[in-house]
Amino acid sequence: MPLIIDTTVLIDYLRLYDPAIKYFDLSEKRKEIQAISVVSAMEVLQGCRDKKSFILEPPRIPSAWLKLWRLHRQMPSGGMKAAEKRTTSKPCAFSVGWFIIVQKFLSCLRILHISEQMSKRAFALQQKYHLSHRLSLPDSFIASTALVSKASLVTSNLKDFEFIPLLKIISPY
């Protein structure tokens, strides 16, 4: 069964939360089909506040991020221009922005865009659960993505979704 990864798990991974890293490593070994909602992708990008907060000096670049960078560079298209490859030939000797790391990370994931069916389902979820359960707009789209895709939702924030019938939820840690 396909899996939709919630924003909370993505953020935990980018913050180097060990259980999240282990979850992604195990999921990769199992060859699980993973995707994210475009809403989660936008939430993660929105977490990048300003250019100053993007900068990481070389000694502070964690190995999990370097692994993401190397994985991206090994992809057939790589998504990188030749000049960019030349300037990053030694991954541990470059300063890189947080935003770039996040973009590279997101480019390795399958992003599901909102369809009309997902939009209608999210609207119905908002009508039913916004006042009673404080369902947020992003969470309604993420849940509708999982429901319409007939996928399980992987989240560490169970309380945000547990009241939605038919939504299969997996707690990764």
Q: What is the CA radius of gyration of the chain?
A: 17
Percent of the chain with pLDDT over 70: 71
DSSP state of 152: E
Nearest CA among 42, 33, 39, 44 for reference residue 9: 44
Largest CA distance in the chain: 54
Give domain limits for the chain: 1-76+92-173
pLDDT tens digits for 37-53?
999 999 988 876 544 44
The amino acid at residue 117 is: Q
Has domain 1-76+92-173 been given CATH number 3.40.50.1010? Answer: yes
* CB 68, CB 108: distance < 8 Å: yes
Most confident stretch, 30-44, 78-92, 128-142: 128-142
pLDDT tens digits for 18-36?
899 899 889 888 988 899 9
The amino acid at residue 25 is: D
* CB 156, CB 5: distance < 8 Å: no
pLDDT tens digits for 64-82?
655 655 555 554 444 444 3
* CB 172, CB 23: distance < 8 Å: yes
Residue 127 burial (10 A CB sphere; 0-12, 13-18, 19+) = exposed
